[in-house]
Amino acid sequence: MNEREDSSGPCLGVDVGGTFTDAVLTDGEQIHTSKVPTTPADQSDGVMSAIRLVLERAGLEPQALTRFAHGMTVTTNALLERGGARTALLTTAGFEDVIEIGRQARPALYELCEHGPRPLVDPQLRIGLRERTGPDGVIERLDGNSLESAIDRVEDSGAEAVAICLLHSYSQPQHGQQSTLTPLLYISSSYVFPTLLDLSDSAVS
């Protein structure tokens, strides 16, 4: 089935919110909707309920769908409410506070005593690793003792998850891959948001 044929068939979109899960189905002529409660314990339950209901209203079988889109505000809500797992940040030594310093674009540029938003990771959970990569390769290899010390600090901190955001990991991900911590949940910026901007990849991770 080519792209032109795909675009002419029924399309289904589902959005998971903090309270409700919504589905919208269109066949190009009519629009059908459904709304069900979000199921936080397993969000797929709410998604499937919304899909079944909107398909029933449209009189269609799942096989008739040509496109499916899925979105959610769950992550945004978690950030706004400061929910989610207690997360530690592993980053290149010397860059631990970038996530708090932010950028020049801020509401009160010349107010020296203005308090910014609470950082996504508390200072005691931001840990620097002795390593350095540039866009073209390794400048300083990941120090094994530094990594072991970081692992001990993470384990003692009570963190439930670890974000690994090392400088230039968008092009040189090997140090981030070596920094995997188990059994904690970890995520590396080189996978989820490989970008030159260290503030952005830290925040996304």
Would you state the pLDDT for residue 163?
Answer: 86
134 and 72 housed in the same domain = no
CATH number of residue 15's parent domain: 3.30.420.40
Beta 11-16 vs 67-72: how paired, if at all?
Answer: parallel
Would you state the pLDDT for residue 182?
Answer: 52
pLDDT along the chain (205 residues), means of 10: 56 93 93 95 94 96 93 79 83 89 75 80 92 88 90 89 85 75 56 53 56
The total domain count for the chain is 2
- What is the phi/psi pair of residue 99, to 5°? -65, -20
12 and 62 housed in the same domain = yes
101 and 161 housed in the same domain = yes
113 and 189 housed in the same domain = yes
Would you state the pLDDT for residue 200?
Answer: 56
CB 50 within 8 A of CB 70: no
Would you state the pLDDT for residue 204?
Answer: 57
Would you state the pLDDT for residue 203?
Answer: 60
138 and 162 housed in the same domain = yes
